[in-house]
Amino acid sequence: MKGVCLCIHPFFSKSMSLCAIPSAQVIPEESIFSGYESSHPLTVKYFKVMQDGTYWFQRLLTIESSFMRNVHEMPRQVIQHVEKVQGQKEYDIIYGGGGLAIIHAALMAKVYGYSVCLFDKYGVGLTHRDWNISYQELLVLRDCGLFSEEQLQSFITCSYRSGFVKFHDANSAIKTPHLWMDNVLDNALDANALLAAARAIVIEHGGVILDNAQFKSIEVDGRLASVHILEHGTQKTLYTPLFIDGMGAFSPIAKALNPKAPFTHCCPTVGTISSGFKTGTGEREVDFSVGEILVTNEDMLPDGRQLIWEGFPSSNNRFVTYLFFYDAIDSPSDKSLLNLYELFFEKLSSYKEPGEHFDIGRPLFGIIPSYSHKALGNARKSADDNILCIGDAAALSSPLSYCGFGSFVRNLPRMTQALHQVLQSKKLTVDSLKSINAFESRVAIMSNFAAFLQGKKGQPSNTVNETMNLFMDVLASLPKHISQEVFRDTMQWESYNLMMSTVPKRHPMSYKILIRTHGFWGLLRWALNFVGFTLSEKRKKS
Ligand SMILES: Cc1cc2nc3c(=O)[nH]c(=O)nc-3n(C[C@H](O)[C@H](O)[C@H](O)COP(=O)(O)OP(=O)(O)OC[C@H]3O[C@@H](n4cnc5c(N)ncnc54)[C@H](O)[C@@H]3O)c2cc1C
């Protein structure tokens, strides 16, 4: 019987640090898969042959159960406001979670000189996703003083010349050709290499990293916080004036701050990095110079889910394929990643044709959160006394692109500068921290478009494809920079208005789709988001 109590991941073997799966979750390989062999035969088959497949399967199961808990259970009382925290400051900032948080920590340590400590229940700087971003957006990490341009280039595993969006139109009245875009998500990054470099910066600047340490609870008094963790099964308390929550979509802190809904919408996503697809320029072949940003090749499933593919080269011979769908948290749709993986393996050859030497490398998966703001500004709580949420724990990335990494990078300089000022003022109360977040009104308004991508049970199966073909037709008729802005989360107010006024001109009956999708309250929320967008533009200009 093969056990998996210690997994030496390639990234950690480089830095000679062990990535140990927390002991409570150590399960022998046979038993982790055996319960799923009959219900998810393809998923089990492929995870068994992947490198570190048992480890990744275990992380998949953890997300699955965290998601159920997060949606259906009451929040745990993890934050306690006390009169006085007893203890002495050990670090300027402590971070829970070692994904995007380590980039933030590296910047705060290197550029601003703060002492930092990071912990993660797995390994700090080990993620199960890779990121795509345009080169121009990536350069923010150079401009803010974190990495050199050479370093940034070393994280890029592949760049493609152009990308497209294409919705299935066999059953649509409007048929739209591929919408081509340059400089959109056109660089594939090795996320773990980037995070490893950030980890090295943290260590170089005296930061402390605790792998296999799980957040339990926090006490705050507005001046100091005591953070209780379980490190390798042993309880420990750490003291800091500022705790940054980077524990992702299922952060217990985010749930405690937003008991009803830490996020309102989500994008369950599964995929792999694989090699050996048939290459060429045919629809089901892989062209290593092209990125496929959003592609559908069938109408909605009977339960209302509109499955969407994404595919892009990740290195010379490897290709990333994702399958995902847009959803609302309170919808009855099946959000199980395991079930989605089974569909992924079943349907993969309908998207890209595996060749003779097809080989599945690493899995990539997650439930990406987003928040729909029924307000003029940010309606999501992402701070408390001595606490600030970032990344997926703040759920402020685009509900249309779900590019959480892109949103984080775009807002990093603004957020860290503002945080530096608050840290200097030593006023770490909720009132000082609550405005430090990645909220952007131009991004918030796009949740109204994202609604068109979300199918519902009972609708005609071509609903999403037909609507998106209409929208792609409008974008194709407009200057190219507008589609770039839509898919790069950088919508300009003037572009937005041009786009909105073109829809009824090109498609006079589109108001019917608008009313069907949004209803009265939805349109009111859209109007509210638009007023918020307009006011924020006015503020920027004045
Ligand atoms: C398959 C996939 C592809 C994506 N592709 C892109 C892309 O191309 N471009 C883009 O911009 N965005 C992309 N995204 C979105 C982006 O990856 C996320 O927004 C981003 O990774 C979120 O990072 P995070 O650190 O906030 O959260 P996470 O990556 O979820 O990290 C949270 C960390 O917290 C740890 N943690 C959780 N609970 C605890 C606890 N109790 N104690 C201690 N530690 C804990 C976890 O172990 C984890 O390491 C993609 C997402 C997915 C799922």
DSSP string, 207-229: -EEESSEEEEEEEE-SS-EEEEE
User: What count of other Cβ atoms lies within 10 Å of the Cβ of residue 210?
Assistant: 18
CA 329 to chain centre: 15
In angstroms, what is the span from residue 248 Cα to ligand 1's centroid?
A: 5
Confidence of residue 279 (pLDDT cuts 50, 70, 90): very high
Phi, psi of 40 (to 5 degrees): -135, 60
In the chain, where are the structural domains located? 79-155+189-262+381-439
**What is the pTM assigned to this prediction?**
0.93
Q: What atom of ligand 1 comes closest to residue 99's alpha carbon?
A: 25
Of 405, 443, 488, the residue with max ligand 1 atoms within 8 A of its CB, to mutate for a pocket test, comes to 405
Amino acid at 35: G
Confidence of residue 28 (pLDDT cuts 50, 70, 90): low
Handedness of CA 96, 102, 103, 105 (dihedral sign): positive
Q: What is the pLDDT of residues 438-448, one digit of tens each?
A: 999 999 999 99
Give yes or no for residue 402 having a pLDDT over 60. Answer: yes
In angstroms, what is the span from residue 370 Cα to ligand 1's centroid?
A: 13
Nearest of 326, 317, 365, 369 to residue 344 by alpha carbon: 365
Give yes or no for residue 261 having a pLDDT over 90. Answer: no
Q: What is the pLDDT of residues 484-541, one digit of tens each?
A: 999 999 999 999 999 999 999 999 999 999 998 999 999 999 999 999 999 999 998 8
Q: Residues with Cβ within 6 A of ligand 1?
A: 96-101, 119-122, 127, 129, 131-133, 214-215, 246-248, 269, 271, 322, 364-366, 368, 391-393, 397, 403-406
CA dist 542 and 539 (Å) reads 5
Q: What atom of ligand 1 comes closest to residue 393's alpha carbon?
A: 26
Mean pLDDT value of segment 118-141: 94
Give yes or no for residue 67 having a pLDDT over 90. Answer: no
Of 103, 187, 310, 402, the residue with max ligand 1 atoms within 8 A of its CB, to mutate for a pocket test, comes to 402
Amino acid at 81: H
CA dist 190 and 320 (Å) reads 12
Nearest of 274, 270, 285, 283 to residue 357 by alpha carbon: 274
Give yes or no for residue 1 having a pLDDT over 70. Answer: no
Fold (CATH) for 79-155+189-262+381-439: FAD/NAD(P)-binding domain (3.50.50)
Q: Inter-axis angle of helices 101-110 and 404-425, to 10 degrees?
A: 40
Phi, psi of 176 (to 5 degrees): -120, 135
In angstroms, what is the span from residue 127 Cα to ligand 1's centroid?
A: 7
Q: What atom of ligand 1 comes closest to residue 229's alpha carbon?
A: 42
Place of tokens 């953070």: 227
Share of the chain above pLDDT 70, in %: 94
Residue nearest to atom 16 of ligand 1 (CA): 404
